[in-house]
Amino acid sequence: MSKNFTAELMSPCGIYCGTCIAFFGYTMAGKKRKMSCIGCRSRISKCAFLKKGCSKLASKQVEYCFECESFPCERLKAIDVGYLRKYGMSLVENLKHIQSKGINSFLKTEQEKRKCPTCGGVICVHTNKCYGCNEP
């Protein structure tokens, strides 16, 4: 059974790291990684998407992108468009949910949405696959 979704695994830009393909131990291309990613907030290396170009995220001035006066910035919007098209998920909408209803409400909704009907595990947002039971 899966553990409850937790705020520690919520990325600043609106992806729940526990549903990310890197967290399950694979690359975007589907190859096995040497190590699974432990989540954007826990990793020492920088966020692949935003931190490199965002001083506020890099210096931890904001916990979530919606706290920024430029939200949603051009960079986030560009990622958002790609995510919506490829994975059917909007990071901006996720962040707005957290902003208006709080992180716990979002985590609960996301957990229900990503729950594998076969084994109760977590379905990956990038591949739509459950790595617990390998159901596509």
Q: How far is the CB of 114 from Zn ion (least distance, A)?
A: 11
Rg, Å, the chain Cα set: 15
CB 25 to Zn ion: min, Å: 15
Nearer to Zn ion (CB atom), residue 68 or residue 119:
119
HSE at residue 17, side-chain half, CA atoms within 13 A, is 21
Verify binding: residue 133, Zn ion, rule CB under 5 A. Answer: yes
Shortest Cβ 131–Zn ion spacing (Å): 8
- Minimum CB separation of residue 30 from Zn ion in Å reads 18
What's the rounded Cα separation, in Å, for the pair 45 and 32?
Answer: 19
Task: Please identify, using beta-carbon distances, which residue of 16 and 49 lies nearer to Zn ion.
Answer: 16
Looking only at Cα atoms, what is the longest distance across the chain? 42
Q: Tokens 């916990």 identify what position?
A: 63
Strand partners, 16: 10
Tokens 């040497």 belong to: 34
Site residues (CB under 5 A) for Zn ion, limited to 111-130: 116, 118-119, 121, 130
Taking residues 64 to 103 in sequence order and writing x for each that binds Zn ion by CB under 5 A, - otherwise, the string is ----------------------------------------
27-36 long-range contacts, CB within 8 A, separation 24+: 28/126, 30/127
- Residues in contact with Zn ion, counted by CB under 5 A, come to a total of 8
Q: Which residues bind Zn ion (CB under 5 A)?
A: 116, 118-119, 121, 130, 132-133, 135
